[in-house]
Structure 1
Amino acid sequence: MVLEWANDAFRLYWTGVQDALNVYWPAYYAIKSEKIRKASSRCIVLNGVLFIGSIVLLHSGLLPLLHKAGGLVLGARGDVASAAHTVVEAAVGALYQAFWITPLYLISLLMNTIWYSRIADAAFELHHGVKVAVGVDVTIKEGMYRALVLVFYVLESVVAYQALPVVGPLVSTVLVCWMNALYSFESVWTMQGLDLQKRLLLIERHWPYFMGFGTPVALVSSFWSTFIGLGVFAVCFPACLIQATCSTFGRPDTVDEEVTGLPAPRLPIFRLSTRCSDAVLRGVNDVVSAKKRR
């Protein structure tokens, strides 16, 4: 029984990994759609060349050059001169990050959102056709709730990494895998008319597959420092959007289906984050209601 369960779970997990690594659909739609091609190219240039390149330039070019120049100027002038040189290097690095890397990252967040939306819309139109119309008020309310859920979910991942001995990094990585899958699939699910609760339910129903789908990007991003990892994720994400759009898994008509062969048909991945979000919203509503009664 246990071996059968493990085999079924791994099969679904490996299917997700294969779908995430399948480059056919991203390449095909990049060739077919000028909108996808332009948005993806701009995303690669901004995140891969400009953003990551700026970080590499700082650590592999500017700081080593400054260190070498300082050594030539100061020579062997004692510990005080060496300490001053170290302070200068740290100050240059901090200023470079504060006035170039951080603003560039914030700009990339805005531009990535625009480009990802264009890629998702174009891929959906090519693969599925017309998307389901959703009201603006519903979109705004759901967007606010989604932001809360994701904030608490990220906090879960951070706490797991810091608080759990030995297994903390593994648990955190698994949580990130599911979050990556949600990011990738929620555009197509939204355009198919699924609300947030059903999107989360699909992840929980088919958790082995979505853990597999989110694994490649999670691993590739984790090999680097925080900023470079974010840049790598941003470069890879257009392909993830297209792969999710073309995936035969997680269709809206399977939202209520149980996964055959798994002892836990639904893994409550987002239960804690949704309950925390609900508690926050209830608290806000109570405060607003109390002010209205005064």
Structure 2
Amino acid sequence: MENFQNSVKAVISGFIDSLRGFVLIFTLDRQIELQRSRLLEINKSKTDSKRRSNTASKSFVREKQEEPRILHRAVQCSLLNGVFFCLSIFAFYQIFLPSIEALLTFSFSVFGQLNTAQWVWSWTAPVLSATFSTLWILPLFVLSKCVNCIWFQDIADAAYKYSRGRPQLIPSISKMIADMLFSMVIQALFLVQAMLVGLLPIAVFNVVLSTLHMCLLYSLYSFEYRWFNEGWELPKRLTYIENHWPYFFGFGMPLAILTSIPSSTLISGCFFSVLFPFFIISGNEAEPSTRTGSYPLQLFSPVVALANALFNRTIGKHATRAM
């Protein structure tokens, strides 16, 4: 009973911690500026000469100009994904296409040929949709994903430097690259696993299990920037989530719920990109509850085994041949 109560408390704690970013993101920039100002004053007080003081001041000003502002990056994510992407899709399907259909129907109705109008529209609409998807949605989607990765990293790095200091990255560059690539494969496979368990012919259970997967995946997304900066390798990150899954289930729940509201996968992706910066901040500032006493949920084990098998059959085999 005590373990159950601790698990419930951990879920609630994770849920509350995940929402802290929506408040902190509006104050972090000011706190970072105050922190830098204090450091500058300390450097000035320790300076023995005016020349060294001026050098430190210039260095500080240059660092301040180069360092991205957290709130500014979050607003950019919202504008790119929420305004340009979502609104363009909405305008096309809710305004442009209905207007073209109405104009086409009116033009043919003048000559009493409504059936012809319906026939023309039956092949015009798919052509317009395909053209819009190919020339606008797909390029913008790829661009937004690339830009979002850069902006998300800027937000995570700025928040981490403020609260935890200089990042302690994985020392080996080759190991770092391998860790990043393997992490991407694990996340993709885990997303597929979440979709598959959602298709199980067991009412309610499949929804709960799929939601649990998505909550843990979103928690991994949110905390991975922080753990990567702390030098945690992928096995340690996954084991930590599996061992303390109630907290991370609660932490990922708001984002999982909010992104499940839209029926369109593209709109859901836009929602995720708009909201995710807040959860990066939350993950950076959170202190996960580790006193749950729950049994580990080894949900990542199947995809890790599959990824290892794929790696051994492809890259590992080529590496062996090269040797």
Shared fold (TM-score, shorter chain, > 0.5): yes
The 4+ residue runs of structure 1 with deviation greater than 4 A are 30-34
> Which residue number corresponds to residue 44 of structure 1?
78
Larger radius of gyration: 2
Identity among equivalent positions (%) equals 26
- Report if aligned partners of 2:25, 2:70 keep a CA contact under 8 Å in 1: no
The 3 A distance-change label for structure 1 pair 40 and 30 is farther
Shift of 1:84: 1.6
TM alignment of 1:168-187, pairs within 5 A: 168-187=206-225
Aligned residue pairs: how many? 282
> Which residue number corresponds to residue 278 of structure 1?
308
Query: Tell me, what secondary structure is at the counterpart of 1:268?
Result: coil
Alignment of 1:261 onto 2:297 = no
- Report if aligned partners of 1:112, 1:234 keep a CA contact under 8 Å in 2: yes
Shift of 1:77: 1.6
The 3 A distance-change label for structure 1 pair 259 and 272 is farther
Query: Tell me, what secondary structure is at the counterpart of 1:27?
Result: coil
The 3 A distance-change label for structure 1 pair 17 and 90 is same
Shift of 1:149: 1.2
TM-score for both structures, normalised by structure 1: 0.89
> Which residue number corresponds to residue 247 of structure 1?
286
2:301 partner letter: R
Counterpart CA distance in 2 for 1:216 and 1:180 is: 10
Query: Tell me, what secondary structure is at the counterpart of 1:162?
Result: coil
> Which residue number corresponds to residue 27 of structure 1?
26
Shift of 1:10: 1.6
- Report if aligned partners of 1:189, 1:199 keep a CA contact under 8 Å in 2: yes
- Report if aligned partners of 2:104, 2:117 keep a CA contact under 8 Å in 1: no
Residue of structure 1 aligned with 2:249, choices 208, 211, 234: 211
Counterpart CA distance in 1 for 2:168 and 2:6 is: 34
> Which residue number corresponds to residue 88 of structure 1?
124
Counterpart CA distance in 2 for 1:281 and 1:259 is: 36
Counterpart CA distance in 2 for 1:60 and 1:285 is: 47
2:318 partner letter: V
Counterpart CA distance in 2 for 1:191 and 1:286 is: 28
2:154 partner letter: R
Unaligned residue ranges in structure 1 (runs of 5+): 251-257
- Report if aligned partners of 1:25, 1:246 keep a CA contact under 8 Å in 2: no
> Which residue number corresponds to residue 63 of structure 1?
97
> Which residue number corresponds to residue 6 of structure 2?
8
Counterpart CA distance in 2 for 1:188 and 1:129 is: 11
Residue range with higher mean Cα deviation, 87-96 or 213-222: 87-96
Counterpart CA distance in 1 for 2:83 and 2:283 is: 25
- Report if aligned partners of 2:223, 2:284 keep a CA contact under 8 Å in 1: yes
Residue range with higher mean Cα deviation, 22-31 or 99-108: 22-31
The 3 A distance-change label for structure 1 pair 82 and 269 is same
1:197 partner letter: P
The 3 A distance-change label for structure 1 pair 150 and 185 is same
Residue range with higher mean Cα deviation, 41-50 or 107-116: 41-50
Counterpart CA distance in 2 for 1:142 and 1:170 is: 30
> Can you list the C-alpha shifts for 1:204-258, whole angstroms capped at 9, x where unaligned?
11101101111111111111111111001000011110110000117xxxxxxx7
Query: Tell me, what secondary structure is at the counterpart of 1:282?
Result: helix
Counterpart CA distance in 2 for 1:74 and 1:176 is: 49
Shift of 1:169: 3.4
1:67 partner letter: E
2:96 partner letter: L
Query: Tell me, what secondary structure is at the counterpart of 1:275?
Result: helix
Residue range with higher mean Cα deviation, 74-83 or 11-20: 74-83
Unaligned residue ranges in structure 2 (runs of 5+): 33-67
- Report if aligned partners of 2:105, 2:114 keep a CA contact under 8 Å in 1: no
Shift of 1:136: 1.7
Alignment of 1:194 onto 2:193 = no
Shift of 1:280: 1.3
